[in-house]
Amino acid sequence: MKQNLLKNKVLFWLGSIHLIIFIVLFVYSFFNKIEVLGINSMIKPMKFALSIWLYSWTMALILNYIIDLPIRRLPKVVYGL
């Protein structure tokens, strides 16, 4: 799986950075006492970082299999994602 992710380095590193951001925010959320509407204020940024991580790594895996399509059809598929 790691080899498939590394073929698209931009999406791999984007996802890795957001995974690190998620971990940092998760640890910080235990020390953060600020609440918004009764929940910790770090919940929304954590969900945002987590969703970008999952999306970018999923796109890296999917694009790995789509690259083998004929050149004529490739731009339509990639832009559709």
**Interatomic CA distance for residues 58 and 71, integer angstroms:** 22
pLDDT digit string, tens, across residues 5-64: 567 778 888 899 999 999 999 999 899 887 788 887 888 889 999 999 999 888 888 877
**Domain limits of the chain?**
2-80
pTM here is 0.73
**Interatomic CA distance for residues 58 and 39, integer angstroms:** 29
**Interatomic CA distance for residues 30 and 22, integer angstroms:** 13
Enumerate residues 6+ apart whose C-beta is below 8 A from 11: 5, 56, 57, 59, 60, 63
3 has a pLDDT exceeding 70: no
